[in-house]
Amino acid sequence: MISVLNRLPRLSGSRRMLFFFGLAFWLFTANLQAQDPNEDYRTHFLIHKVRKGDTSFSLTKRYEISAQQLLYYNPELKDGLKRKMKLKIPRYKEIPPPPEPQANTHTVKKGETPWRVAYQYGITLQELKAANPDMGVVMSIDQVLVIPETSVETNSYDPNYNYYTVKPKEGYYRLEVKFGVSEEELIALNPELSEKGLLAGMILRLPKRNSPNYITEENLIVEKVNLRDSLFQQTELKVALLAPFRLPTVPIDSVAQTNQILQTRNLQTISLDFYAGARLAMEDLVELGLSIDFTVLDTENSNFRINQLLDANDFSSFDFVVGPFVPRHFNTVSEKLENLKFPLVSPLTTKPLAMRKNVVHSSTDRKFLRERMHRYIDSLDQSPENPCVVIVADSENLAVQNRLIEQFPLAEIVNPDPEFNFVKPELIDSLTSHLEQNWVFLETKKTNLIISMVSMLNAQQNEQRKTKLMTLDRSSAYDDENIDQLHLGNLSFTYAETFDVNPIALTSLYEHYESAYGTVPTREAIRGYELMTDLSLRTAIREELIDGFELGETQYLQNKFLFQEQAEGFRNTAVYLLQHKGYETIILTDE
């Protein structure tokens, strides 16, 4: 009670006394009426040790119980909440949910995803999205979705099965080849097939089997395809690369000046690295049996030069074109060549592009990384353990902070000193718990703040205090040499990223590249190798690159690709979920 009274506005002595007696009377009557309506569902108790800042209200919100339930099991609260007091927190088995508010709506529950809702009502994902155009991949608890009027709740999600979203043009034979499940078995598991037939976007229940050809995320199957082992329908490809090499600006009569230019990381050297990887990919694909006409054009990072290239070349003969690298130049080319059949692929930029029907954006939007992390956090948040959540966010990440607060309304918020980007160790020490696992979200791109927080959290980690570090948007600052990778491993640092950073997996490619060029590949060189390999193989297998996107998700040594159709064009939506363990970085799945 003292912590509540200290937050009161200034009152006169008499008014403050009246307020105190009114509050005491409320506590007394509440205690007389305290009960637990869910007592029949109670399974066990958690013990919560009261710490600074706790209030009865915050505890009821944190543990999702009522004030009556808290008082019922802790009658000593009638004398007030005191630090170090040990409270019994009731835990329950699943309580039957209340009925839906309307027949044509669905209120999102904790842990639900769009595919689960679609499956529950026997509709396709496209139908659910069409009825809810503002619905994202991540939904909010208590969000109300519109369900098409003709749909009724017919299916129940069972974690003992896997689920699969049917792709366009897929029939029973192709599904049997993929999953080893006959048409009769599919109909037995999914009775609606007898009436509706097999529809694109339909979600099917499948037996839960392990397979090297796919992975599962929250029981939803995501295919993992090895394109190199597939049968080629087309063995002759014609490919073009438009890159800003700016060769006329290289002073070839001065070795010293040339070395200086090429040793600096800039658009020119990035283009050369990408080309080196792409060229090595073409050579390897020829060994697989493909014949590739690889045309390389220098855009010189100039609109004038790009227009010259457009006038001088017949691009309609290419299977696909990669580039230009710079977004404004890419948009110029995609607009002028929009009516031609070939796809135009953006190779590296993460910035927005003017999406047209011929555009393929090969970089994953950062929003998909945040959504993947939210799904991971949702899966953690379903456990009976109640973590202590601390959000450390600078002024540039307040939107991310607010999104986390929606999920964890009782989280402790720490905003670093804006001038020095520093958080006092004693503050973090006072906010984290020795009794529960601590989840610390660090939302910043400032290197010195990341270095200090990682070091501080690692120093405070011990047998009694366990801390898990996460971020919704990992920046390159985490690659700083002053950050001890073992510290990140000790904190189980978890994040989503567009590429895998495990150097051990890259050993074979490093050796192959070094044998060809005498140096180790940069990230851009690896990207060039893996992107050009993926695009070429998809085209060779399905004859058209766009049709090749139906092959699903592919994963290489550092990059993976899952091209999905957007309102206009296609976008890579593949995401790695990564976690540091010791000195290693592992890929997390939901298997």
Residue 477, Cβ neighbours under 10 Å: how many?
15
Q: State the CATH number of the domain containing residue 61.
A: 3.10.350.10
Q: SS3 of 242, please?
A: strand
Characterize the bridge pairing of strands 42-49 and 86-92: antiparallel
CA distance 572 to 559: 11
Q: What is the pLDDT of residue 31?
A: 40
Closest C-alpha among 487, 441, 482, 485 to residue 461: 487
- Residues 382, 429, single domain; the answer is yes
Q: SS3 of 197, please?
A: coil
- Residues 141, 173, single domain; the answer is yes
Closest C-alpha among 441, 567, 455 to residue 494: 441
Closest C-alpha among 477, 401, 254, 174 to residue 488: 477
- Residues 255, 291, single domain; the answer is yes
Per-residue CA distances from 483 to 126, 151, 422, 448, 551 (Å): 44, 53, 16, 10, 39
With respect to residue 385, please indicate whether it lies within any of the assigned structural domains: yes
Residue that the structure tokens 């991971």 belong to: 376
- Residues 295, 384, single domain; the answer is no
Q: State the CATH number of the domain containing residue 341.
A: 3.40.50.2300
- Residues 85, 189, single domain; the answer is no
- Residues 222, 266, single domain; the answer is no
Closest C-alpha among 516, 442, 426 to residue 483: 442
Phi then psi dihedrals of residue 326, to 5 deg? -85, 130
With respect to residue 118, please indicate whether it lies within any of the assigned structural domains: yes
Residue 54 corresponds to which tokens in the numbers above?
A: 């706790």
- Residues 66, 178, single domain; the answer is no
591 residues of the chain, pLDDT tens digit each? 323 333 333 333 333 333 333 333 333 334 434 577 788 888 888 888 888 777 777 788 888 888 788 888 988 887 778 888 889 999 887 766 654 444 488 988 877 888 888 888 888 888 888 888 878 666 777 888 988 876 677 788 888 898 998 887 788 888 887 888 899 999 999 988 888 888 888 899 999 876 656 677 777 887 666 788 788 999 999 999 999 988 766 555 544 555 555 566 788 889 999 999 999 999 999 999 999 999 999 999 999 999 999 999 999 999 999 999 999 999 999 999 998 888 999 999 999 999 999 999 999 998 889 988 988 888 776 665 678 999 999 999 999 999 899 888 889 999 998 888 889 989 988 888 888 889 999 999 999 999 999 999 999 988 888 999 999 999 889 989 999 999 999 999 999 998 887 666 688 888 899 999 999 999 999 999 999 999 999 999 999 999 999 888 898 989 999 999 898 999 999 999 999 998 888 888 754
- Residues 203, 123, single domain; the answer is yes
- Residues 427, 394, single domain; the answer is yes
Q: State the CATH number of the domain containing residue 392.
A: 3.40.50
Q: What angle, 0 to 180 degrees and rounded to 10, lies between the N-to-C axes of helices 267-287 and 523-542? A: 40
| End position of a domain, from candidates 210, 229, 248 | 229
- Residues 298, 248, single domain; the answer is yes
With respect to residue 277, please indicate whether it lies within any of the assigned structural domains: yes
CB 333 within 8 A of CB 324: yes
With respect to residue 399, please indicate whether it lies within any of the assigned structural domains: yes
Q: How many domains does one find in the chain? A: 4
With respect to residue 573, please indicate whether it lies within any of the assigned structural domains: no
With respect to residue 279, please indicate whether it lies within any of the assigned structural domains: yes
Whether the model pTM is above 0.85: no
- Residues 119, 190, single domain; the answer is yes
| End position of a domain, from candidates 170, 202, 229 | 229
| End position of a domain, from candidates 470, 497, 524 | 497
- Residue 264 belongs to domain spanning: 236-364+506-561
Q: What angle, 0 to 180 degrees and rounded to 10, lies between the N-to-C axes of helices 267-287 and 255-262? A: 80
With respect to residue 131, please indicate whether it lies within any of the assigned structural domains: yes
Q: What is the pLDDT of residue 294?
A: 94
With respect to residue 261, please indicate whether it lies within any of the assigned structural domains: yes
- Residues 439, 331, single domain; the answer is no
